[in-house]
Amino acid sequence: MSVLIFAELDEGKLKGSSKEAIYYGSKVAESLGTAATAIVIGQADDAELATAGRFGAAKVLHAADSKLTEANGMAYASVVAAAAEQEGSTVVVVAKSSLGDAMAARLAGKLRAGLAANVVDLPNLSNGFRVKRSIYTGKAFAETELTADKKILAIKKNTITPEEKEATASVEAFSPALNDSDFVLKVTNTEKATGDVLLPEADLVVSAGRGLKGPENWGIVEDLAKALGAATACSKPVSDLDWRPHHEHVGQTGIKISPNLYIAAGISGAIQHLAGVNSSKVIVVINKDPEAPFFKSADYGIVGDVFDILPRLTKAVNAL
């Protein structure tokens, strides 16, 4: 028996959120007195997959069938279910993402498993199997007990900080039977956001709102993001005005992010925006209005003009 972790790939590399999931799964395995096994679907070389050992995986099962090139939640659920059956896994860990969510829900049906989403801490095994979950877009927490024999944990980003060690995982080819019924859903096209750092995976994010006054001024946001190695984001009004592409919109109706650092420039901090960013470890707010609601949620606040503050921050970062 082992704890099984579904690890996603991005262009043949393990995603940052998957490394966190592997580390989380390894800690669950330790508490259960067993080992951690990762299941990876898609094209990747063995050297890359073996790095899962740095985060606690003893073994990686690699399903590289050409039919699985496109991320298909139905087919992936069947593959992970087959891996869980082979490994005798009663606990499956996935990183919460668009693919993880679609796959985990179907997997729960296949395994007749209990599913807990937005998990933010390691399970409490002192009295049953209880997990802490983020609810109401991060405004509260719930303790949930899973009583099913099999359990699926979809963990929220930044749930646990991975610690690397000098180790490699063994890599085994995994070729489960694939049924035509798994492919009634077909991925016909995939459009990825472009940029040096993709927003959903970013640890650092620089975001701006209508306080920038127009798209022609976005250079000062991009300059700071480049200096920090950060992704750029924006508020909903900005994307609605087509100042920035819609895939940069963070908030309740946009992308929900959990970076280590979120810098918000010229954003008032409406509750809809907060719902997408309140899982950030550190929030820095820059606004010339000292009464801006966002300051109430900030770890650090700067009262000042973004056209003055952002270039000065960029200069300071570059000087480092």
Q: Are 280 and 258 in contact (CB under 8 A)?
A: yes
CA atoms within 13 A on the CB side of 209: 23
Overall average pLDDT of the 63-68 stretch: 89
pLDDT for 170-192, tens place per residue?
999 999 988 888 888 777 776 66
Query: What is the pLDDT, as a whole number, of residue 249?
Result: 94
Query: What is the pLDDT, as a whole number, of residue 192?
Result: 61
Overall average pLDDT of the 45-52 stretch: 96
**DSSP states along 243-311:** SS-GGGBBSTTSB----SEEEEES----HHHHHHHTT-SEEEEEES-TT-GGGGG-SEEEES-HHHHHH
Query: What is the pLDDT, as a whole number, of residue 311?
Result: 96
Distance CA(312)–CA(297), nearest Å, equals: 23
Whether residue 43 is predicted with pLDDT greater than 90 in this model: the reply is yes
Overall average pLDDT of the 260-264 stretch: 96
* 56 vs 1 pLDDT, higher one: 56
Amino acid at 216: E
C-alpha distance from residue 101 to each of 115, 266, 313 (Å) = 10, 32, 37
Whether residue 265 is predicted with pLDDT greater than 70 in this model: the reply is yes
Question: What confidence tier does 160 reach under pLDDT thresholds 50, 70, 90?
Answer: confident
Query: What is the pLDDT, as a whole number, of residue 136?
Result: 81
pTM, 2 dp = 0.81
Distance CA(94)–CA(128), nearest Å, equals: 21
Overall average pLDDT of the 76-104 stretch: 94
Known binding-site residues equal: 210, 266-273, 287
Amino acid at 183: F
Q: Which of 21-25, 118-122, 136-140, 300-304 has the lowest mean pLDDT?
A: 136-140
Whether residue 71 is predicted with pLDDT greater than 80 in this model: the reply is yes
Question: What confidence tier does 10 reach under pLDDT thresholds 50, 70, 90?
Answer: confident
Phi, psi of 176 (to 5 degrees): -70, 160
Overall average pLDDT of the 17-38 stretch: 96
Overall average pLDDT of the 196-206 stretch: 83
Amino acid at 27: K
Q: Which of 104-118, 121-135, 183-197 has the lowest mean pLDDT?
A: 183-197
Known binding-site residues for FAD equal: 210, 266-273, 287
Whether residue 153 is predicted with pLDDT greater than 70 in this model: the reply is yes
Query: What is the pLDDT, as a whole number, of residue 195?
Result: 58
Whether residue 138 is predicted with pLDDT greater than 80 in this model: the reply is no
Compute the radius of gyration of the chain from its Cα atoms.
Answer: 21
Q: Are 107 and 73 in contact (CB under 8 A)?
A: no
Q: Could you give the domains of the chain?
A: 2-183 (3.40.50.620), 199-319 (3.40.50.1220)
Mean pLDDT over each residue of the chain, to the nearest integer = 92
Overall average pLDDT of the 66-81 stretch: 90
Overall average pLDDT of the 261-283 stretch: 92
Query: What is the pLDDT, as a whole number, of residue 126?
Result: 93
